[in-house]
Structure 1
Amino acid sequence: MAHLLFRLRHVTDEEALEVRRLLDERGFDVYETQAGFFRLGVDAIWLRDSSQREAAEAALAEYQQARRQREREAFEQARARGEAPTLWRRFLAHPLQVVLTIVAVLLVALLTLLPFLGLNAL
């Protein structure tokens, strides 16, 4: 029976390619599914042979640990150079998007709290 090995939703193309390459290099029998037009399915990589499950999960865990370490080091280097992403840098790069996002958050908060603010009048 097939086993869900790796979900592809919210994964960058680079990471998905690296995972595909890793699984292919290690010789795991996998296939992919797409969520489809209405997003009712699952974007994922599935393992066909359940007997390979432990080895495949161990390989993915090793890969994810190495990727986490690599990304952490890249972030620390960017922070040391003063290039790490911050809210201020995002605002300078996309001021309209940041302002509209803040307005939307405030509007949702106001609409959520409005019924409770009206209880004081009773």
Structure 2
Amino acid sequence: MAKLLLNMRYVPEDEAADVRAFLDEARIDWYQTRPSPFGISHGGIWLRNNDDLPRAKALMADYQRERQANARAAQAQAERDGTAETFADIVRADPKRVVLIIIAIVCLIGFMAVPGYMLSR
């Protein structure tokens, strides 16, 4: 029976390509399912043979550790260069969205506080 190695929800294409490449390099038999048309499933990368699961998970853990280190190094370099995205950059790029999110947060906090206020009276 097949085992799911990677759920494709929120997985960028470059990461999926890397996973497919290291599975091929390790000669692990896999297949990929596509997202469903209604958005219920986002697809995944599956292993055909259950015996390959421990080795594939070990390869996946190594890959994720390396990817995390590279992402952190790139973020640190962007912060040193002054090119990292800041809150001010986000506000300048899409001020309406930021204002709407802040209004939504204030409303949610207000809705959560109303029962406490009503009970204290």
TM-score where L is the length of structure 2: 0.87
Aligned-residue CA RMSD in angstroms? 1.7
SS of the residue aligned with 2:107?
Answer: helix
Q: Aligned ranges for residues 37-48 of structure 1 at < 5 Å?
A: 37-41=37-41, 43-48=43-48
* CA shift for structure 1 position 64: 1.0
> What's 1:8 paired with?
8
Percent of residue pairs identical: 36
SS of the residue aligned with 1:11?
Answer: coil
- Structure 1 residue 112 and structure 2 residue 112: aligned? yes
> What's 2:91 paired with?
91
For 2:42 and 2:83, the matched residues in 1 are separated by: 36
* CA shift for structure 1 position 42: 5.5
For 1:9 and 1:33, the matched residues in 2 are separated by: 12
> What's 1:64 paired with?
64
* CA shift for structure 1 position 92: 1.8
* CA shift for structure 1 position 43: 2.5
For 2:17 and 2:109, the matched residues in 1 are separated by: 39
Q: Aligned ranges for residues 14-53 of structure 1 at < 5 Å?
A: 14-41=14-41, 43-53=43-53
Aligned residues: 121
Of 72-81 and 102-111, deviating more is 102-111
Unmatched 5+ residue regions in structure 1?
none
For 2:34 and 2:20, the matched residues in 1 are separated by: 15
> Are residues 79 and 57 of structure 1, via their aligned partners in 2, closer, same or farther at CA, if it must alter by over 3 Å?
same
* CA shift for structure 1 position 9: 0.8
- Structure 1 residue 73 and structure 2 residue 73: aligned? yes
For 1:88 and 1:42, the matched residues in 2 are separated by: 33
* CA shift for structure 1 position 80: 0.2
Of 55-64 and 68-77, deviating more is 55-64
For 1:13 and 1:42, the matched residues in 2 are separated by: 13
Letter in 2 for 1:13: E
TM-score where L is the length of structure 1: 0.86
